[in-house]
Amino acid sequence: MKRFTAVLATLMTFSQPLQAADHNTSDLVTDFTLDNGLEVVVIEDHRAPVVVHMLWYRAGSADEPVGQSGVAHFLEHLLFKGTETLEPGEFSATVAKNGGTDNAFTSYDYTGYYQRVAADRLELMMKMESDRMVNIRLTEEDIATERDVILEERNQRVENNASALFREQKRAVQYLNHRYGVPIIGWRHEMEELSMEDALSYYGTYYSPNNAILVVAGDVTPDQVEALAQKYYGVIPANPDLPTERLRSQEPPQTAARRMTFVDPRVAQPYVSRSYLAPERNSGDQAEAAALRMLSEVLGGGQTAVMAEKLQFETQQAVYSGAFYGGTSLDRTTFDLVVVPTPGVSLEEAEAAMDQVLVEFLEEGVDEAHLERIKTQIRASEIYARDDVEGLANRYGRSLTQGLTVQDVQDWPNVLQAVTAEDIMAAARKVLNPKTSVTGYLMAEEG
C-alpha cells in the first residue's frame, strides 16, 4: 500500500464551476490495486460511524457505440433490476432497510454507483455491489419498463426545459466529431430503439474489475477495506477483452466561429452564452487547467469578478454573468461564458458588452489583489471540504476515471495556489479563440 453543489442554478449545469470542495492534501488516503485490476481508494474519517461505498466504471456515454446513445445511462437503470441472488428492486430496498441511501449516475466518461450506510454495513454493500458487477439478470419486460422510464426522464429533464434543449443543441454544435456532442441521456430516436442486446453488450465490455475503481470513505481502515475487497471483488476475474485504450473519435481542427439561436415560447429569461473548446486537466501536467480554473474565477466567479463588476454594477446591462471551466474531463472540454441581460437590453447588446469586457481584460490583465482574494477563498474552502466525506469520495472517483491519479488530486490545491497572473493571461489568450467558439442565444421569440 501507498499512504498517501432559479436561473443561476440552471445555467451552472452546463459546466463545472470552481468547486468549493477542493480537499486538503492532509486527508488520509490509501490506494492499492487488486490482482484482477480493481483499483481501490480508501479515505479515512473516523469522526462518525458512517461509510460511503462507491464503485466507478471507466465508461460513460462517450464510450457508447455509434447509434446507441443513452445505453450507458440505460444500463445504469437496469443494474437496479435483479441478479442471480437479488430480486428486482431488492438492492435499494436492502440499503434502505439497513438505514442507508443509494443511487447512481452517468456522465460522459464514467458511471458510478454508491451507498451511504453505517460503517458496520460495509460488507453487505460490497457483497451486493460486486454481485451486480457480473451477475445481472434481465427480462424483456425489464427492458421495456426501463426504456419507458428513461424516455420519461428525458421528457422531464430535457424536453420540458427550454434551457436544457438549448444547451443540448449548443453542445452538439461545439463538438464536430467527438461523442461529447451527444447527450448523456441519449437522442430520443436512438433511446427508443435500445435493446437487451445493446445493454448486455455494453455491460459485458465495460463492467469488470479491471475497468473499475472502488472508493470507500469514512469510518474504515485500509486493512479492513482490503480484506473485504479481496473477499468480494477479488474473486471476480478480470475481463481479458477489455479494450486496452478508450478509443474515441477526436475533434478535427475547429477553424470557424459558430452561432445559433434557440427560440422557445417557454423562455422566461433570455440569455447569451458562449463556449470555447479548451484543454482538459491532464495527469502530471495540471498547470494550464489550473490557470483556466482561475481564469473562470477572475472573469465570472462571483460578485467581485470582472464580468459582474462591469456588466452588473458599472453599466447595469446584466442581472447575472458567469464564467465556467469543466476541466475534469478525459478529452478536450469547454470554457463557458454566460450573460443574462437586464430587461430592455437585447441579446445583441449583451453579447457586445461581453465582448468589450473580454477585450479590456486582455489589455489590462489580472488584478493581483483580486487574484490573492480568490486564492484565500480557495484555501478556506479546502478546510471546510474535509467535513464532506461523500464529496471527497466523489472527487477522487471522478478524477481517477478521467485519467488523473491520487497524487494529481492531492497536488491540485497547491497547483491552483501556484497560478500567477501571467499564467492566467496566457491561458486566456490561448482559449478565448473565436475560431473554436459557439455563441448561442436563448430567447422566447425572434426580434
Reading the block at residue 107, the C-alpha cell is 456522465
In the chain, what is the greatest distance between 2 CA atoms, to the nearest angstrom?
Answer: 66
**Residue-wise burial string across 210-242, b where 16 or more C-beta atoms lie within 10 A, e elsewhere:** bbbbbbbbbbbebebbbebbeebbbebeebeeb
Contact 425, 365 (CB under 8 A): yes
Quote the cell numbers at residue 113: 454507483
Cα→Cα distances 124→51, 89, 223, Å: 12, 16, 17
Pairing mode, strands 50-57 and 212-218 = antiparallel
Cα–chain center distance at 425: 26
CA of residue 214 relative to chain centroid, distance: 18
* DSSP reduced 3-state for 293: helix
Catalytic residue among 39, 64, 76, 382: 76
Distance (Å, whole) CA 380 – CA 371: 15
CB atoms within 10 A of CB 23: 24
Query: What residues pair up with 329 in beta bridges, in sequence order?
Result: none
Distance, in Å, from the CA atom of 65 to the CA atom of 431, rounded to the nearest integer, reads 30
CB-CB neighbours of 202 under 10 Å: 22
280 included as an active-site residue? no
Cell 471546510 sits at which residue? 384
Instruction: Report which residue type is found at 108.
Output: Y
C-alpha cell at 257: 466561429
- Taken in order 354, 356, 361, 362, the sign of the CA dihedral is positive
Catalytic residues: 76
